[in-house]
């Protein structure tokens, strides 16, 4: 993989039924050292990935999860519709559910995918990402990707949220969002600058 950022922790397809399977650390490949340590994880390596379009079942899964996110948002009283969900609001909704006891009687798996896919949809709707099915040596996951073929800034939101549910971490979506967008912008600017270099300049 070229210069890019990937956030994938466990297989979202495995997590669809049960949050188990081989864990994956956060990978910030190509970022400066201070950013690599942003969330306490750094995994070097060459990730050979294949991308494919989602099928109808996977798109329906996302649609259903977005409906759950809308219900979760209304129940937690931090917003009125998932379409308006920013990373800040999703962080608050997730924290409310995590510490609300029986106030919101929703299975963890459903909440994880609701928050995760709403976050992914926010990136799709506002930041130029697109949904994609990604397969590599760790398995297959549903993710959102920007700059395809020019860095492949990749976020696998369900596995990202599932990893933090395991440790009961909260308030993570906002810093991840900013890290992803900063890296996307850095890669995009690098490609644009490269395209403006004189024909005789090879670096």
What is the per-residue burial (b if ≥16 Cβ within 10 Å, else e) of 165-177? beeeeeebbeebb
Res. 101 pLDDT band, cuts 50 70 90: low
139-147 average pLDDT score: 94
What pLDDT, on a 0 to 100 scale, did the predictor assign at position 152? Answer: 85
Q: Determine the Cα–Cα distance for residues 180 and 33; give it in Å rounded to an integer.
A: 15
pLDDT at 150 over 50: yes
129: its two tokens: 């990402």
The predicted model gives 44-66 an average pLDDT of 85
Q: Is the pTM of this model over 0.85?
A: no
Q: Which two tokens stand for residue 136?
A: 């590599």
Q: Average the pLDDT over 12-32 and give the result.
A: 33
Q: Of 114, 129, 143, 131, which is closest to residue 8 (Cα–Cα)?
A: 143
Q: Give the pLDDT of residue 174.
A: 96
- Helix, strand, coil % over all residues of the chain, rounded to 5: 50, 10, 40
**Residue 179 is encoded by which pair of tokens?**
């890290």
Residue 104 is predicted with a pLDDT of 64
Residue 27 neighbours by CB under 8 Å, 6+ apart: 5, 6, 7, 8, 41, 42, 43, 45, 47
When pLDDT is cut at 50, 70 and 90, the band that residue 137 belongs to is: confident
Q: Are 22 and 151 in contact (CB under 8 A)?
A: no
Q: Kindly tell me if the per-residue pLDDT of 31 is higher than 80.
A: no
């Amino acid at each position: 993989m070229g210069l890019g950022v990937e956030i994938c922790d466990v297989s979202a397809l495995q997590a669809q039924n049960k949050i188990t399977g081989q864990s994956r650390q956060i990978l910030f490949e190509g970022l400066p050292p201070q950013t690599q340590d942003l969330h306490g994880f750094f995994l070097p390596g060459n990730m050979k990935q294949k991308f494919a379009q989602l099928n109808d079942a996977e798109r329906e899964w996302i649609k259903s999860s977005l409906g759950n996110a809308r219900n979760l948002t209304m129940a937690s009283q931090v917003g009125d519709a998932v379409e308006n969900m920013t990373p800040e609001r999703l962080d608050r909704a997730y924290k409310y559910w995590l510490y609300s006891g029986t106030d919101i009687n929703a299975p963890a798996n459903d909440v994880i995918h609701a928050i995760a896919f709403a976050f992914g949809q926010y990136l799709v709707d506002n930041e130029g990402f697109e949904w994609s099915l990604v397969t590599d040596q760790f398995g297959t996951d549903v993710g959102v990707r920007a700059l395809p073929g020019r860095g492949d800034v990749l976020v696998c939101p369900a596995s990202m949220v599932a990893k933090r549910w395991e440790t009961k971490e909260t308030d993570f979506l906002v810093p991840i969002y900013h890290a992803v967008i900063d890296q996307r912008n850095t890669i995009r600017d690098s490609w644009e600058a490269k395209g403006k270099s004189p024909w005789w300049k090879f670096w």
